Amino acid sequence: LTQVENNPDLAQEVVSNLYKETGYAHIIGVTGPPGSGKSTLVNGLALEFRKRDQVVAIVAVDPSSPFTGGALLGDRVRMRDLAGDPGIFIRSMASRGSLGGLASATGDVVKVLDAAGFQSILVETVGAGQAEVDIATAAHTTLVIEAPGMGDDIQTIKAGILEIADILIVNKMDRPGGDRTVKALQMMLHMGSSVQRVNHHGQQMTLDESPDTVNHGEDAWQIPLLETIAAQNQGIDEVAEKILAHKRYLQSNGGWLDKEIARCRNEIDRMLKEQFIRKMGKAVPIYERESIIEAVAKREIDPYAAVKRLYKEAFAN
Ligand SMILES: Nc1nc2c(ncn2[C@@H]2O[C@H](COP(=O)(O)OP(=O)(O)OP(=O)(O)O)[C@@H](O)[C@H]2O)c(=O)[nH]1
Ligand SMILES: [Mg+2]
């Protein structure tokens, strides 16, 4: 895993060799604002899956409070619940350790774990822009964790979470304001339900008809809103059950393949960009690239002309 993470060329070789053995794991993305309780919830979920006799892997991407070496005593205590269980594997990944891009490195690490036979792979990412969208596309089931006091009204709850969430969770329900956060999210879900999401060969499309004219169909997934107190292990069982229900839902209606197609499309697009940039980086010396960039800044050439030149040079040999 360390080599896959740090060496893009080796990662390519490894993934090519084991790709046929992948595709069995249920990949579960867990995202949300910093400190909302993602790691705590993921710990609890891992234990729930263990109770159901699964082998579980946890991948924490760029954690601000890493799984290992957490400063808080509570975190250490929870870690001890997992440590020593050979059915749970935990991996923390920091962005500095991945030359080929964090998203690619994460995808490759997940593939190795999938091939190794882990049935559930929980991937924690802090909710921030593109990383969030990447992980949602990389996962079969995406959990968005909110907590009270991080924006109790609808405007401050991050726009777009309904696009990526399969399951919404309000954690820290022991804190004041929990009910208000739940209400705000319920309202958001209600408004969102008038815009139906449909999957067409893995492409997310929306139908903008009013709810009355749209046949929602009994097989449309309703995003559940669950309440938890992860630190007291309350409500985790229900979250685990919903995750398994979502997996059964995907497997019963072709949604699993749709998710795979969407993931592969996103992954291949991203890899094409990364590979081109790496190839260009090898072909064009950095000082030359910088002088081209400077020329664009000084309006000596336009950005299209710059890209055309770099493209040509990258593929010159
Ligand atoms: N009161 C309360 N505290 C909680 C709950 N769940 C987690 N915490 C605490 O909140 C703090 C942050 O929890 P984490 O699980 O590290 O949150 P996170 O979202 O993984 O944080 P980052 O990875 O840093 O973004 C820790 O001190 C937890 O013990 C909860 O349900 N109630
Ligand atoms: Mg965390």
What does the pLDDT profile of the chain (317 residues) look like in tens digits? 988 888 888 989 999 999 999 999 999 999 888 889 999 999 999 999 999 999 999 998 865 544 443 333 344 445 556 767 889 999 888 765 455 567 778 899 999 999 999 999 999 987 655 556 666 678 999 999 999 976 545 555 566 777 789 999 999 999 999 999 899 889 888 877 655 555 455 555 554 444 443 444 567 899 999 999 999 999 999 999 999 999 999 999 999 999 999 889 988 998 888 888 888 988 999 999 999 999 999 999 999 999 999 999 998 86
pLDDT value of position 317: 67
Give, for ligand 1, the residue of 30, 40, 75 to mutate: max count of ligand atoms closer than 8 Å to Cβ.
40
Q: What does the block give as tokens for 46?
A: 């891992």
Nearest CA to ligand 1 atom 21: 35
Nearest CA to ligand 1 atom 1: 172
| Paired sense of beta strands 141-146 and 167-170, if any | parallel
Question: Which residues are CB-contacts of 167 (< 8 A; sequence separation ≥ 6)?
Answer: 141, 142, 143, 144, 223, 224, 226, 239, 242, 243, 246
Give, for ligand 1, the residue of 65, 135, 234 to mutate: max count of ligand atoms closer than 8 Å to Cβ.
65
Residues within 5 Å of ion ligand 2, judged at the Cβ atom: 38-39, 63
pTM, full prediction: 0.84
DSSP code string of the chain: -HHHHH-HHHHHHHHHHHGGG-S-SEEEEEEESTTSSHHHHHHHHHHHHHHTT--EEEEEES-SS-STT-SSHHHHHHHHHHTT-TTEEEEEE-GGG-TT-HHHHHHHHHHHHHHTT-SEEEEEEE--HHHHHHHHHH-SEEEEEE-TTS--STTTSPTTHHHH-SEEEE--TTSTTHHHHHHHHHHHHHHHTTSEEEEETTEEEEE-S-TTTS---TTSPP--EEE-BGGGTBSHHHHHHHHHHHHHHHHHTTHHHHHHHHHHHHHHHHHHHHHHHHHHHHHS-HHHHHHHHHHHHTTSS-HHHHHHHHHHHHT--
Tokens 């329900």 correspond to 173
pLDDT value of position 203: 55
- d(C-alpha 107, C-alpha 110), whole Å: 5
- d(C-alpha 226, C-alpha 242), whole Å: 9
pLDDT value of position 188: 84
Please tell me the distance between residue 40's alpha carbon and the centre of ligand 2 in angstroms: 7
Please tell me the distance between residue 126's alpha carbon and the centre of ligand 2 in angstroms: 7
Please tell me the distance between residue 149's alpha carbon and the centre of ligand 1 in angstroms: 13
Please tell me the distance between residue 312's alpha carbon and the centre of ligand 2 in angstroms: 43
The CA-atom distances, in angstroms, between 268 and each of 59, 84, 203 are 21, 37, 15
Q: Ligand 1: residues within 6 Å at CB?
A: 34-40, 63-65, 72, 74, 126, 171-172, 174-175, 229-231
Q: What does the block give as tokens for 262?
A: 């969407």
Give, for ligand 1, the residue of 30, 31, 39 to mutate: max count of ligand atoms closer than 8 Å to Cβ.
39
Please tell me the distance between residue 88's alpha carbon and the centre of ligand 2 in angstroms: 17
pLDDT value of position 212: 40
Please tell me the distance between residue 174's alpha carbon and the centre of ligand 1 in angstroms: 12
